[in-house]
């Protein structure tokens, strides 16, 4: 009898994207009220610390002992319990802007760390989880229902309102990112904020009541005027800027005349397969480049270009 999973790769495509290497066991069903204090009592507990949206590192080491966190003003009751690893619990917390950092500690850029490829995938994934959750806490200190100040609960995966009893949970915003394909050509565009010469896939937020496939069709039509028929899922990527899930797809173009949204795109054009391979190789005669290998857009483009 045929197995529906026959033919799938041993390692899914998502595993090759940046921030996808998180190996922390979340144990979401086991976050008791005292889970964070118990984790903090473990001598092996380690923190991912952030100043605002950026992680703190010691060279390329992003882990800090509880005592180091205390010296930097971290309050245990406000820590987020990310989960557990074989080496001990992992937590996250923020350090105030006015706190002086110890010698050897610096503020890093998470996107740059991922692009450089020098930090382990496990730490990049852990930092992505930490960044998304600490950002959510910083933006949800007050109840959206009654305005009262909320308190951390469930190990940091919930905030409770003592005023009206409302419970607030972190959210992940789904984003579709897609490569439209027409025979031996693919569609790439560039936004004004992109690095000079870089072209990428089109992307946009999935809206309420919308399927992934319909979002791919709508966004491609709105941004480039290209109709999409069949849609094929390829991979996903956690994107902690601030807390999105990139859902990567290939879309079969049913029209080819580009009508670019000039407010959204600086340029949009079709690339042949040979030209796309040159873009990926960094040898395009016009100096056109692709997103870095940590980005899901890179993998969508490469998967098509290499057949």
We report the CATH number of the domain holding residue 38 as 3.90.79
Question: Is 0.75 surpassed by the pTM of this model?
Answer: yes
Q: Is the same domain home to 177 and 299?
A: yes
Can you give the pLDDT at residue 140? Answer: 95
User: Own/partner pairs for 257-265, CB < 8 Å, 24+ apart?
Assistant: 257/225, 257/226, 258/187, 258/224, 258/225, 258/226, 259/224, 259/225, 260/189, 260/223, 260/224, 260/225, 261/222, 261/223, 261/224, 264/191, 264/222, 264/223, 265/189, 265/190, 265/191, 265/223, 265/224
Residues 117 and 204 in one domain: no
Residue 153 lies in a domain: no
Task: Please name the residues in contact with 184: beta carbons below 8 A apart, sequence gap of 6 or more.
Answer: 272, 273
- The total number of structural domains that make up the chain: 2
- Cα-based angle 113, 115, 121 (whole degrees, multiple of 5): 65
Structural domain span for residue 273: 173-305
22 and 102 together in one domain: yes
Q: Which residues contact 138 (CB under 8 A, 6 or more apart)?
A: 94
User: What's residue 250's pLDDT?
Assistant: 98
The reply to whether 132 and 200 lie within a common domain is: no
Distance (Å, rounded) from C-alpha 126 to C-alpha 80?
A: 12
CB 150 within 8 A of CB 161: yes
For the chain, which residues score pLDDT lower than 70?
none
Instruction: Give the residue from 123, 139, 155 where a domain finishes.
Output: 139
Q: What is the pLDDT of residue 30?
A: 73
- Note the pLDDT of residue 29: 83
């Amino acid at each position: 009898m045929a197995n529906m999973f026959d033919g799938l790769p041993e390692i899914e495509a998502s595993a090759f994207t940046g921030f996808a290497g998180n190996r922390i066991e979340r144990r979401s069903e086991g976050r008791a009220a005292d889970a964070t204090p118990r984790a903090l009592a473990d001598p092996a507990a380690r923190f991912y610390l952030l100043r605002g949206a950026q992680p703190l590192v010691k060279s390329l080491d992003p882990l800090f002992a509880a005592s180091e966190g205390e010296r930097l003003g971290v309050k245990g009751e406000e820590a987020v319990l990310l989960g557990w690893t074989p080496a001990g619990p992992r937590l996250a917390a923020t350090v105030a802007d006015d706190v002086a950092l110890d010698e050897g500690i610096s503020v890093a850029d998470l996107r740059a760390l991922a692009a450089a490829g020098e930090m382990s995938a496990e730490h990049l994934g852990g930092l992505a989880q930490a960044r998304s959750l600490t950002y959510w806490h910083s933006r949800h200190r007050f109840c959206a229902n009654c305005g009262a100040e909320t308190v951390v609960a469930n190990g940091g995966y919930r905030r409770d309102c003592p005023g009206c009893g409302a419970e607030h949970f972190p959210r992940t915003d789904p984003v579709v990112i897609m490569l439209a394909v027409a025979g031996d050509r693919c569609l790439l565009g560039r936004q004004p904020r992109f690095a000079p010469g870089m072209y990428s896939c089109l992307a946009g937020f999935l809206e309420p009541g919308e399927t992934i496939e319909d979002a791919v069709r709508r966004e491609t039509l709105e941004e480039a005027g290209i109709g999409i028929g069949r849609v094929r899922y390829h991979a996903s990527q956690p994107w902690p800027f601030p807390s999105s899930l990139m859902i990567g797809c290939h879309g079969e173009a049913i029209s080819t005349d580009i009508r670019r949204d000039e407010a959204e795109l600086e340029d949009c054009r079709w690339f042949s397969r040979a030209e796309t391979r040159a873009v990926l190789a960094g040898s395009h005669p016009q100096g056109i480049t692709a997103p870095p290998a940590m980005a899901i857009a890179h993998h969508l483009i490469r998967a098509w270009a290499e057949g």
